[in-house]
Amino acid sequence: MRIGVLTGGGDCPGLNAVIRAVVRKGVADYGYEFIGFRDGWKGPLEGLTMELGIDQVRGILPRGGTILGSSRTNPIKVDGGVATIEKNLAELGVDALVAIGGEDTLGVATQLHEHGVKVVGCPKTIDNDLSATDYTFGFDTAVQVATDAIDRLHTTAESHHRALVIEVMGRHAGWIALHSGLAGGANVILIPEVPFDIDQVCGWVESRFESHYAPIICVAEGALPSDGDLMTREAPLDAFGHARLAGIGDWLANEIERRTGKESRAAVLGHIQRGGTPTAFDRVLATRFGLQAIDAIHDGEFGVMVALHGTDIVRVPLSEATGVLKTVPPERYEEVRTFFG
């Protein structure tokens, strides 16, 4: 068997750990050959490949990013895209694909599977917003990076008696803000799922100053005021129709300063959350996903995604994982409100 591997969408720490596990087990246990597709779905669409064997995966376990490259190419939006992929896979002698990605990449995998392409999905995203899995790899690392940043902001905020806003990633789901805000002891956490009232936020900021501590406000990039809109950058939508988000952190810092008279600053963490070496948790999860993905191929079980249920790695239909986003449930947000203000 010849297996193609690709990584699509926003990169995240742990992608290389999956690639390594897939190749190591595929070669050692099943005698498979591998071919790497470059830059997500662009690879199979344009026939962009690279050699992928034991030599290429040696030493990559702790490396962030992806040796295969990534992109947000959407072959479904390209005229004849699906047929071109089928033709390229046939010409390259690829029997099956491992697609490592989030909702967009695996959404494409779901559609290709419906056209008869043999594909197994593996869930990645720092946002942790894929359904049908308890966690995606990359999330733990992003939360750790954001928590470290909040720890640092506390000390400078205290020194200057300032309110400090930290903007973290999370377009539709506030998991990173929720977890890093809780772990870092933020005094306000704002997530896309629950529009916020700016007067209430300012009330929490003032009450924190009254107790002689400087407030930290942890906000997801997709959070929005109850009477306002999502804040976006002027840039074209990507191939999956997403706008580029930016600005909520600065907006909040300005509003807080204007309404409370307290000096405020914003720090935008951005892609720092996506880069660098994965945590041990993410390395283990990514490796276990990779091992299970190649086993699924060996068992001839296609159109599935590997997933974490409790402590077990299981296989679920791709359609189940990509149908709806996993957002923060209201009761999880209620839990953290104890620490606001």
Query: Nearer to ligand F6P by C-beta: 273 or 287?
Result: 273
Is 125 among the residues that bind ligand F6P (CB under 6 A)?
Answer: yes
Distance (Å, whole) CA 137 – CA 123: 7
Binding mask 95-124 for ligand F6P (x = CB under 6 A): -------x----------------------
DSSP states along 153-166: HHHHHHHHT-EEEE
Catalytic residue of the set 11, 39, 104, 127: 127
For strand 312-317 and strand 188-190, is the pairing parallel, antiparallel, or unpaired? Answer: unpaired
Rounded to the nearest whole angstrom, what is the least distance from the CB of residue 304 to ligand F6P in the complex? 22
DSSP 203-220: HHHHHHHHTT---EEEEE
Q: Determine if 22 is a binding residue for ligand F6P (CB under 6 A).
A: no
**From candidates 8, 10, 81, 101, binder to ligand F6P by CB under 6 A:** 10
User: What is the DSSP secondary-structure string of 92-149?
Assistant: TT--EEEEEESHHHHHHHHHHHHTT--EEEEEB-TT--BTTSS--BTHHHHHHHHHHH
The candidate with the shortest Cα–Cα distance to 217, out of 170, 263, 185, is: 185
Q: Which is nearer to ligand F6P, 170 or 303 (CB)?
A: 170
Give residues 204-233 in contact with ligand F6P (rule: CB under 6 A): 221
Shortest reach from residue 28's CB to ligand F6P, in Å: 32
Check binding of 245 to ligand F6P (CB under 6 A).
yes
Distance CA 249, CA 220 (A): 8
Long-range contacts of 229-233 (CB under 8 A, 24+ apart): none
Residue ranges in 152-171 that form contacts with ligand F6P under rule CB under 6 A: 169-171
For ligand F6P, the closer of residues 126 and 191 by Cβ is 126
* Residue of 5, 96, 126, 163 interacting with ligand F6P (CB under 6 A): 126
The residue type of 330 is: P
d(CA 274, CA 128): 13
- CB nearer to ligand F6P: pick between 70 and 88: 70
How many residues sit close enough to ligand F6P to count as binding (CB under 6 A)?
Answer: 11
Closest CA to 12 of 120, 221, 169, 151: 169
Nearer to ligand F6P, 19 or 245 (CB): 245
Binding residues among 294-333 for ligand F6P as defined by CB under 6 A: none
Q: What is the rounded distance in angstroms from the CA atom of residue 305 to the CA atom of residue 293?
A: 8
Q: Establish whether 127 is a catalytic residue.
A: yes
CB of 295: closest distance to ligand F6P in angstroms?
A: 27
As to burial, measured by CB atoms within 10 angstroms (0-12 exposed, 13-18 middle, 19+ buried), residue 201 is buried
Which CB atom, from 187 or from 279, has the smaller least distance to ligand F6P? Answer: 279
- Least spacing, CB of residue 208 vs ligand F6P, in Å: 27
Minimum gap (Å) between residue 172 Cβ and ligand F6P: 8
Rg (CA), the chain: 21
Taking the complex as a whole, the smallest distance from the CB of residue 146 to ligand F6P amounts, in Å, to: 12
User: Strand order in 216-220's β-sheet?
Assistant: 188-190, 216-220, 163-168, 264-268
Contact residues for ligand F6P, defined by CB under 6 A = 10, 102, 125-127, 169-171, 221, 245, 274
Q: Which residues are catalytic?
A: 127
